[in-house]
Amino acid sequence: MATSANLTRVGQINGAGGVDELFLKVFSGEVLTAFETANVMMDKHMVKTITSGKSAQFPRFGKTEAEYHTPGEQMLGQNNMRQAEVVIPIDKMLVTHEFIANIDEAKAHYDARSIYSNEMGTALANQLDKHLLQMAAKAAREDNVVSDLPGGSQIFADAPGGTGNSLKTDGEALAYAIFLAAQELDEKDVPESERYCFVRPAQYYALVRAKDNINRDWGGMGSYAEGDIMRIAGVTIVKTNHLPNTNVANDTVAAGSRNAYGGDFTDTAAVVMHKSTLGTVKLFDLGMEAEYQISRQGNLMVAKYAMGHGILRPEGAVELVDAAAP
């Protein structure tokens, strides 16, 4: 009978433990980070960049009227055009920051700083989207600062002519509400171009599953196979994870917010808005800074921006509410 050899296991530490502890770990070449969230709002509203100051003014004007003229009668002005202003203040600088120690970076077999900087920038961009979409829903609930212009609108699940089904789960009911929202905007003389409907993924795919919305025989635009839908009632459909769906508390002035972004969005199923509805005042654009600190033996990384977001034209916003009308 053969006798077993006394093996020297070259992968053991001090001849004990796992037999492969000393073997090299092969780096896969891929670093798994959090998935980036798609940002959708920056090109879908008005942006004003300032070089100094704490706020920006947006003049608002109402409408005038035509009248018949009697020959010989002097025209002195009708004095019926209302004017107001919207002032959007800059919030305190929004930042995210990370510190990477030299020793940790030396041990890592991948470029840690590029990963951190990307995730930090994404975190700020996500917050910008959230603030803007919260403001979009709030715009639909606001009166106009110009006294003779209409304010925002809300379409409820039990709107006349609708199915009465949930706007969060029924694609046909949601599509009908989008048509009603488009009608509201038409009746307020809101331009037909650059209208958007922001929905969460669940509502987006509910619209796709309701096949009439993408039926090309009816002029539908989208694909059941690809799971996409482009427009309903001339409104571009935009899918986002950042449309609010909870009761969001206002950030305090002491914490740094000078704009009220909070509200109860529990029943918000979607928001339809024109590009001119919201405005952003930008003092510092999204930027990155990095500094090596000798005393701490590492790199401090900071991502930042200084902006403020507000409502310019509430008549351009319609909130689709998954609840009965009050």
Which band of pLDDT confidence, cut at 50, 70 and 90, is reported for residue 147?
confident
Does residue 211 carry a pLDDT above 60? yes
> Which residue did the predictor score with more confidence, 115 or 2?
115
Residue 219 DSSP label: T
The overall average pLDDT reported for the chain is 86
Q: What is the CATH number of domain 46-321?
A: 3.30.2400.10
- For residue 7, the model assigns a pLDDT of 55
Q: What are phi and psi of 319, to 5 degrees?
A: -95, 130
Place of tokens 């305090």: 252
Q: Is the dihedral of CA 271, 239, 248, 91 positive or negative?
A: negative
Which band of pLDDT confidence, cut at 50, 70 and 90, is reported for residue 2?
low
Among 75-84, 197-206, 215-224, 285-294, name the most confident range. Answer: 197-206
From 148, 199, 185, select the one nearest 315 (Cα to Cα). Answer: 185
Does residue 30 carry a pLDDT above 80? no
Helix-strand-coil percent breakdown of the chain, rounded to 5? Answer: 25, 30, 45
Helical packing angle, 171-187 and 201-209, nearest 10°: 100
Name the strand (E) or helix (H) holding 92.
Answer: none
Does residue 63 carry a pLDDT above 70? yes
- For residue 21, the model assigns a pLDDT of 73
Whole-number Å distance between alpha carbons of 199 and 40: 11
Whole-number Å distance between alpha carbons of 108 and 120: 19
Whole-number Å distance between alpha carbons of 148 and 188: 12
Which sequence spans correspond to the domains of the chain? 46-321
Whole-number Å distance between alpha carbons of 308 and 87: 10
Does residue 235 carry a pLDDT above 90? yes
